[in-house]
Amino acid sequence: MTNDGIILVTGGSRGIGAATAVMLAERGHRVVVVDIVPETPAGANASVLVWPESFDVAREESVTSGVAAIEEKYGPITGLVNAAGVFGKMHSLERIRMENWDREVNIDLRGTFLVARAVGVRMAARRHGAIVNVASVAGMTSGPIHAYTAAKAGVIQLTLSMAGEWGRAGVRVNAVSPGFTRTVALQAGIDSDAMSEERLSRNAAMGRLVQPSEVAEAIVWLLSPMSSAITGINLPVDAGFLAGSTWDSYWGLPNGGSKS
């Protein structure tokens, strides 16, 4: 990624995508945000350009025509952030409706693949570029969000395969896996008592939720020359959720000290 081209952020109107788009622009990059319902991210400066047309990551024609039109108007895409995604309902396996399963997998996994492929082949032809896919710690653990966990596990594996495919063409592909992140959507769930902040954060080693800006920092770093020898990794940004999640099987996480 260089300042000469543009950075495309899918799902960039809200959540982690919005936080990343704003941060990239603040650091001097030209950013193009696409979304199914395009809106200017809160706090964005003039370097954040919102593509006015609906961009459906799950539809191949929407992706291929959109990427071509964006490059024709703004120039080559040198960085890509695949942040578009949906979080499904928590259900037991027998209650999952296949239309809901298909929607989550189509957006979270198929959409990531379609956008990364459409952009990545162009980067490979130019022999330069960096891609960051937003996965999730849900794709590394288990939980009652079966389509989401399967899709995000697929994103992690897809990232590894694309890194191998395009590495010698000068394209790096990495993933970040956020833990429970205080997006507007998650905060709304907490405020309505549909979710418990204490339950969400108690198994994290750091005892708290992740901030969207913290995930954005990791994404910006993976796009930057500072990570120039890194490709094919999945970086958890989870306040230590993976490190702490099994401690309940013992005595629980220490509260600022150790137990013997």
Instruction: Name the residues annotated as catalytic.
Output: 148
Measured between alpha carbons, how far is 26 from 44 in angstroms, rounded to an integer? 8
β-strand partners of 134: 176
Q: Work out the number of other CB atoms within 10 angstroms of the CB of residue 65.
A: 14
Tokens of 255: 């509260």
Amino acid identity of residue 228, one-letter, is S
Residue with tokens 């570029």: 129
Do the beta carbons of residue 39 and residue 14 sit within 8 Å? yes
| Short-list 9, 35, 5, CA closest to 22 | 9
What one-character DSSP code corresponds to residue 13? Answer: T
HEC letters along 105-167:
HHHHHHHHHHHHHHHHHHHHHHCCEEEEEECCHHHHCCCCCHHHHHHHHHHHHHHHHHHHHHH
Amino acid identity of residue 35, one-letter, is D
